[in-house]
Structure 1
Amino acid sequence: VLSMYHYHADAGTTEVPYRRLVTQRGSWRRHNRYVGFLDGVGPHRDGEHPIYPVRTPRRSATPVLSPAQVATILDGCSVQRDGDWTGGAAAVRNRLFFAVLAETGMRLGEALSLRHNDFHIGAGATPWIDIVERQDHPHGARVKTGPRRIYVGDDLEALYSEYVWQLVAMNADQVVDDLSNHFVFVNLQRGPRFSPMRQENIYEKVRGLRTAHRSLPPDWSPHWLRHTHATALLLAGVPEHVVMRRLGHADVQTTLSTYGWVTQDAAMRSLAEWKNYVAGWKGLHDGQQ
């Protein structure tokens, strides 16, 4: 596309589209009239740089949390003692949020967009969460890719059930007109009660966990849990195409480009550690996602 616009600019037909698509250092200068078909791919002439850069394979490792660090994040929100969860409903909500990211590989916007009827539990079968394509979050969170189904483990199912019971104890089923179709992650302490959470709320909790737990990387973010999820699956031997569907990638090449280094450097951590980490997750074969 850039070559086409560059050709017409040199031919004197029009140069406005090319000016808009390419930033320049210095003044506009004409080049030879002939422009090759692949001109604009790779190094550019005279310091010109396309606004939309060419995608290159990832050469460095994506940031990953160890299983112990993931546990630190979850326990830093709430822990179960004598059958009860510490910290109240807000703490349980926070643990559930990070647990969903860690066990499903969801993006931040996908998790914030979840409704209660997206959770399918308590039917005696493998529990799952549906990712539904939505663009209606009041604070701009959105689902980036199309719909998919992610099967989860019993621990996540039990944690979600506990969270719902705590919501009901706060009369959420009476305050909210249709709780089953309402957002899962809502305000419980500040702001309008039961209104959808903002991304800023999540990052505020992340900053608190960074400060409280020095064993965590100082720059970790919620997206690291998605990277950790993919890494854990690959190191545990899950096929790449299954990881692709679970993450919601458009094609397996995206998965390989982002996480190909994992299988090449499997010795970076104990494989047994990662296999134990994913042992409770379900649906990690061809029949389920």
Structure 2
Amino acid sequence: MGRSKKNVNGSGSTRKKGNIYEYRFYDNSGVRHSKYAKTQEELKEVIRKVSMQLYNGDFKAKSTLTFQDIYKDIIEEKKSNNIIKENTYMRHIELLKILQRFNFANIKIQRMQSSDIKTLYANIQRNNYSQSVIDKINIAINQVLNKSIELNIISKNFNTGIIKPRSNKKTKDVTAFTIEEQKKLLNIIDNSRYKIIYLIALYTGLRIGEINALTLRDIDLNNRVIHVNKTVTKNINNQTIVGEVGKTTNATRNVTIIDILYLPLYNYIKDLNITDFNALVFTNSKGLVLSTSAINSEFKRLNKKYNFCNNSVNVHMLRHTFATRCIESGITPVVLKDILGHADIKTTLNTYTSVFSEFKNTEISKLENYIKTNINDVMGV
């Protein structure tokens, strides 16, 4: 083994190991590194590049960390600091599974290139993932790459400048029950053990997960209000649990118990005969948290048996039916947004575009009648 030689500028030392030249140096944090070259000319170029990187603060130590390693670290830190709850954490885990499916999660950060991200986006788009998934992936990539810059693993965000694709997946039209279908449902609803759950969804617009998470304390019969502050979700072991908050900050809200719902809800709670205000109002046969899938399965069986709707059904249609009846009755989008717990008015307008459009002519008729009554006489019409 050759003798070590100190560089003239004192920034490191070189030595020859057999036919290979080694350059030893310390980074700006005092950590020692080695770079290798086959010839003296290559060695000079290595020394020049490293010296320039150290001078500019651009030197990056070799790292084996993958996208998945850093993403998990980010979400684990947020979870431990109570920034995100169990249900949000699980959504991140599900997103990571999608990235694993396309062999993106295990790419080493230092080997990642813009082409890797473009390939991922193309695969996601080709497989008809929703725009929501594409948006979440884009956010995750930026979080990981920015964290990697912070950790001095890379020097730039490869996602910057890459155009986020639009989903090829067609947006599903909101499906609500017609008034006739709703009447048929109400006529046979007594045959279901989940009758009161369906009624709450139909007359408040609560999500089934929000209903199943209600405790006795959440239902204020005196003031006729339901306090929505939790939802049913899955934990990392795929067990159904009650999460602490809903999907958005606006998901925590108070919803009015209208007259048609009050009496059946009052009687149901009275018959429960429970005194623990923290007890769940709805549970399965074992007294455990009731899952949305259990309600949905029973709802489908109910329709198969009684045929209250000719099309396929799901329990989320109850929420859409409530919203549709609200629009038909003249409730404004701003008020509906708050009732449904949407994050912003855009969500409400985009979700129920077809319903609002359907009643546009009705609203225009109101304007015409108003003008005829109050303005036409001035114009001599």
Report the TM-score range of the alignment, normalised by the length of the smaller protein.
0.5 to 0.7
Residue among 190, 201, 211 paired with 2:294: 201
Tell me if the contact between 2:214 and 2:281 (Cα under 8 Å) persists in the aligned partners.
yes
Q: Secondary structure at the match of 1:22?
A: helix
Q: Secondary structure at the match of 2:214?
A: coil
Query: Are the structure 2 counterparts of residues 62 and 136 from structure 1 closer, same or farther at C-alpha, using a change threshold of 3 Å?
Result: closer
Q: CA RMSD in A?
A: 3.5
1:160 aligns with 2:269: no
Corresponding residue pairs, total: 212
Question: What letter is aligned with 1:255?
Answer: T
| C-alpha displacement of 1:166 | 2.1
Structure 1 partner of 2:207: 107
- List per-residue Cα deviations over 1:58-115 (Å, max 9, x = no partner): 5x6411102332233333231xxxxxxxx6xxx4x51110011111111121111111
Structure 2 partner of 1:40: 164
Aligned positions of 1:20-169 closer than 5 A: 21-24=120-123, 37=161, 39-42=163-166, 53=167, 61-78=173-190, 91=192, 94-121=194-221, 123=222, 125=223, 127-134=224-231, 139-140=240-241, 142=243, 143-146=246-249, 147-168=252-273
CA distance in 1, matches of 2:160, 2:293: 47
Residue among 15, 32, 36 paired with 2:113: 15
Residue among 179, 202, 223 paired with 2:276: 179
Structure 1 partner of 2:5: none
CA distance in 1, matches of 2:353, 2:258: 26
Question: What letter is aligned with 1:232?
Answer: R
Percent identity over the alignment is 21
Higher share of residues assigned strand: 2
Q: Secondary structure at the match of 1:130?
A: strand
Tell me if the contact between 2:228 and 2:254 (Cα under 8 Å) persists in the aligned partners.
yes
Query: Are the structure 2 counterparts of residues 73 and 141 from structure 1 closer, same or farther at C-alpha, using a change threshold of 3 Å?
Result: farther
Query: Are the structure 2 counterparts of residues 203 and 22 from structure 1 closer, same or farther at C-alpha, using a change threshold of 3 Å?
Result: same
CA distance in 2, matches of 1:119, 1:105: 15
Query: Are the structure 2 counterparts of residues 15 and 221 from structure 1 closer, same or farther at C-alpha, using a change threshold of 3 Å?
Result: same
Q: Secondary structure at the match of 1:129?
A: strand
| C-alpha displacement of 1:37 | 4.1
CA distance in 1, matches of 2:165, 2:182: 40
Query: Are the structure 2 counterparts of residues 69 and 136 from structure 1 closer, same or farther at C-alpha, using a change threshold of 3 Å?
Result: closer
TM-score by length of 2: 0.48
- List per-residue Cα deviations over 1:190-242 (Å, max 9, x = no partner): x32x3332223212321221122223133111111111111111121111100
CA distance in 2, matches of 1:136, 1:264: 34
CA distance in 1, matches of 2:278, 2:360: 45
CA distance in 2, matches of 1:198, 1:115: 15
Question: What letter is aligned with 2:282?
Answer: F
Tell me if the contact between 1:105 and 1:225 (Cα under 8 Å) persists in the aligned partners.
yes
Larger radius of gyration: 2
